[in-house]
Amino acid sequence: MSAKGKHRRPKQHRIARRLAFAGTGGAALALPLIGATTAGAAVAQPAVAPATTALARPAAQPAAQPAAENAALSLTYSVVGGDTLSKIAADHSVSGGWQTLYAANRSAIGADPSVIRPGLTLRLGAAAKAAAAKAAVKPAATYANNLDGWIRESLDIMARHGIPGSYNGIHRNVMRESSGNPLAINNWDSNAAAGIPSKGLLQVIDPTFRAYHVPGTAMDSYDPVANITAACNYAAARYGSIDNVNGAY
């Protein structure tokens, strides 16, 4: 009778049998029945952990980087032959026109907005607006009460009104016309004979001063800044720039 007992299949423990079929779906079929007789053996199979980790990754970020780079590249422009600030501003729809473009790039362009060299990199769009806004809120400049200060103040006013001209061009003409004396007056030429003598640093007659007076300057042809600015405005209309004037004008 004892020999028959040797061939009987040993009874599986109730807890081990339950653990062998634990899990979701068909995952439990992959668990080995032999040796899985303790709770530790049954729970040591993390079948779903990798899938949970993969779902947590953001997949959309790499696609956004090229768009940001393209936007940054579109904010600059390299000047080519034949360009003017007006043309560039129009071609790229710069808000505020060439004046905004110049204000944003004055440090690179210099005092004369009519002179830009090929290869110069200009800031456009949002970059131009930001630079112009920053320039608008900076503290007001102070100028010396002498020829150097008068010219520099005039150049800043001219830049705001789009009037071309350089420091050297103004200084050269001032020294020829008045030797730097803001109260100089010509009482001997044909204008003087007609009752409209030339006055001030750049020897402007009153009718010309009134016609080309620039808002924001004094209505006095002897005022050095007003005289320079009106004369440069006249020279720009007739000769393209005070820089092109090398004699009586």
Lowest mean pLDDT among 19-33, 103-117, 198-212: 19-33
Q: What is the pLDDT of residue 173?
A: 98
Q: What is the pLDDT of residue 44?
A: 46
pLDDT tens for each residue of 184-243: 999 999 999 999 999 999 999 999 999 999 999 999 999 999 999 999 999 999 999 999
Q: What are phi and psi of 110, to 5 degrees?
A: 105, -170
Q: What is the pLDDT of residue 92?
A: 81
Lowest mean pLDDT among 35-39, 114-118, 234-238: 35-39
DSSP letters of 181-249? -TT-B--SSHHHHTT---BTTTTB-HHHHHHHPPTTS-S-TTSHHHHHHHHHHHHHHHHSSGGG--S--
Cα of first residue to Cα of last residue in the chain, in angstroms, is 139
At 33, the pLDDT band (50, 70, 90 cuts) reads very low
For residue 204, list its beta bridge partners: 199
